[in-house]
């Protein structure tokens, strides 16, 4: 992949896609193809096919997806399986038909069985039942993995699939209905502090453990794998360490400066008890995460405050 290679980043305005764009630009890649959803509806097969036919795309980072937390997955299961199947199918097939050199597909660790042994090894895929709250999304992602593997086998393409753990970073989603746990907690504690509320409610028991990877670390890993890995076997991307949600809440509470209490709403489902990925494979390939959780949280909260100030102007 050369500095002037034609590179399409699907989903470039999202958490993952924007981080990949930053990583590519910082490394001197200048020929980036970027389209918003209003400019190119990735669910529309004809539009996607035309886009690929009209541009000599050499490399694809497939970061576009419909994503959300437990509430959104529970409320909109049809949209989560339909939209994700359409997006990834259209792009992967168009990449093959137009001779794209290499494609990287972003999956998710929710593809692993709910009660799989910890840490999650790549070979645990399809060895048990999924977590029901995000099963439609997970099934779509599993289909994307298999599609990449099938095209590699039948057409000798070079499509790789990576499974990032829970992510956070710039351009995260802070909507309390559709966001994941970390940005939701940042917003909850910030608004409680601002409004003088005595209590912040955290969903679930606080006992599930989660691993958190900064989006810039993920982007660095994706670029590293695009340059250094070929194979149909999936690759986990994570930090190799996790914490209970209760500890995450206390850490965010401290960073935000909220002085009230935390209460846990145990009527809300916890989801998967633990999701720690085994990073032996990617570490063996020569890549390791670098951004510590507390440092990353302080950075994203600073950006959250800046964006709030900008919104007020």
Instruction: Indicate the pLDDT class of residue 312, thresholds 50, 70 and 90.
Output: low
pLDDT at 76: 83
Q: Is 128 among the annotated ligand-binding positions?
A: no
Query: What would the mean pLDDT of 61-74 be, rounded to a whole number?
Result: 84
pLDDT at 272: 74
Comparing C-alpha atoms, which of 221, 119, 126 is closest to residue 167?
221
Contacts with 117 (C-beta within 8 Å, 6 or more apart), sequence order: 124
* Second CATH level (architecture) for the domain 7-171+211-241+275-291: 3-Layer(aba) Sandwich (3.40)
Q: pLDDT tens digit string along 3-24?
A: 999 999 999 999 999 999 999 9
| Residue 55 φ then ψ, to 5° | -135, 135
Torsion of CA 293, 295, 296, 302, to 10 degrees: 140
Q: Is 15 among the annotated ligand-binding positions?
A: yes
- Which residue is listed with tokens 């001779």? 99
* Tokens matching residue 184: 């939701």
Query: What would the mean pLDDT of 19-47 be, rounded to a whole number?
Result: 97
Q: Please, are residues 138 and 73 in contact by the beta-carbon 8 Å criterion?
A: no
Instruction: Tell whether the model's pLDDT for residue 72 goes beyond 80.
Output: no
pLDDT at 307: 84
Q: Is 99 among the annotated ligand-binding positions?
A: no
Q: Where along the chain do its domains lie?
A: 7-171+211-241+275-291
Q: In the chain, pLDDT over 90 holds for what percent of residues?
A: 85
Q: Chain-wide mean pLDDT for the chain?
A: 94
From 29, 80, 112, 137, active-site residue? 137
Q: Is 55 among the annotated ligand-binding positions?
A: no
* Tokens matching residue 113: 């069985």
Q: Where are the beta strands (DSSP E) in the chain?
A: 7-10, 32-33, 59-62, 102-106, 159-164, 166-168, 199-203, 209-210, 212-214, 235-237, 243-244, 261-265, 274-275
Instruction: Tell whether the model's pLDDT for residue 262 goes beyond 80.
Output: yes
Query: What would the mean pLDDT of 70-90 be, rounded to a whole number?
Result: 90
Torsion of CA 159, 165, 169, 171, to 10 degrees: 60
Query: What would the mean pLDDT of 111-124 be, rounded to a whole number?
Result: 94
User: Helices 181-195 and 245-256: crossing angle, nearest 10°?
Assistant: 40
pLDDT at 68: 73
- Which residue is listed with tokens 């994503």? 67
Q: Is 166 among the annotated ligand-binding positions?
A: yes
Instruction: Indicate the pLDDT class of residue 313, thresholds 50, 70 and 90.
Output: low
Query: What would the mean pLDDT of 109-132 be, rounded to a whole number?
Result: 94
Q: Please, are residues 232 and 149 in contact by the beta-carbon 8 Å criterion?
A: yes
pLDDT at 242: 96
pLDDT at 311: 59
Q: Is 165 among the annotated ligand-binding positions?
A: yes
Instruction: Indicate the pLDDT class of residue 73, thresholds 50, 70 and 90.
Output: confident
pTM of the entire structure? 0.92
| 137 catalytic residue (yes or no) | yes
pLDDT at 131: 87
- Which residue is listed with tokens 């360490």? 241
Instruction: Indicate the pLDDT class of residue 274, thresholds 50, 70 and 90.
Output: confident
């Amino acid at each position: 992949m050369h500095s002037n290679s034609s590179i399409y980043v699907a989903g470039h305005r999202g958490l993952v896609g924007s981080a990949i764009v930053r990583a590519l630009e910082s490394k001197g890649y200048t020929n980036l193809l970027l389209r918003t959803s209003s400019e190119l509806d990735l669910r529309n097969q004809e539009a996607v096919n035309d886009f690929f036919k009209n541009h000599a795309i050499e490399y694809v980072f497939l970061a576009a997806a419909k994503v959300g937390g437990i509430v959104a997955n529970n409320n909109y299961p049809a949209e989560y399986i339909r939209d994700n199947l359409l997006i990834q199918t259209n792009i992967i097939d168009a990449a093959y038909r137009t001779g794209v050199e290499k494609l990287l597909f972003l999956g998710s660790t929710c593809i692993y069985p709910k009660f799989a042994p910890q840490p999650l090894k790549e070979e645990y895929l399809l060895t048990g039942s999924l977590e029901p709250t995000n099963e439609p999304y997970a099934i779509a992602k599993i289909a994307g993995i298999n599609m990449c593997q099938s095209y590699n086998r039948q057409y000798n393409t070079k499509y790789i699939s990576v499974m990032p753990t829970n992510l956070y970073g710039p351009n995260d989603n802070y909507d309390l209905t559709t966001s994941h746990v970390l940005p939701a907690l940042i917003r909850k504690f910030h608004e409680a502090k601002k409004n003088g509320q005595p209590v912040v409610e955290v969903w679930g028991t606080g006992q599930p453990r989660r691993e958190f990877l900064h989006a810039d670390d993920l982007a660095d890993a994706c670029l590293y794998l695009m340059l250094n890995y070929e194979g149909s076997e999936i690759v986990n991307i994570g930090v190799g360490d996790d914490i209970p949600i209760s500890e995450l809440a206390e850490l965010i509470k401290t960073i935000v400066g909220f002085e009230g209490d935390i209460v846990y709403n145990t009527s809300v489902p916890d989801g998967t008890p633990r999701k720690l990925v085994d990073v032996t494979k990617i570490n063996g390939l020569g890549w390791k995460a670098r951004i510590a959780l507390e440092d990353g949280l302080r950075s994203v909260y600073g950006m959250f405050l800046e964006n709030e100030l900008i919104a007020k102007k």
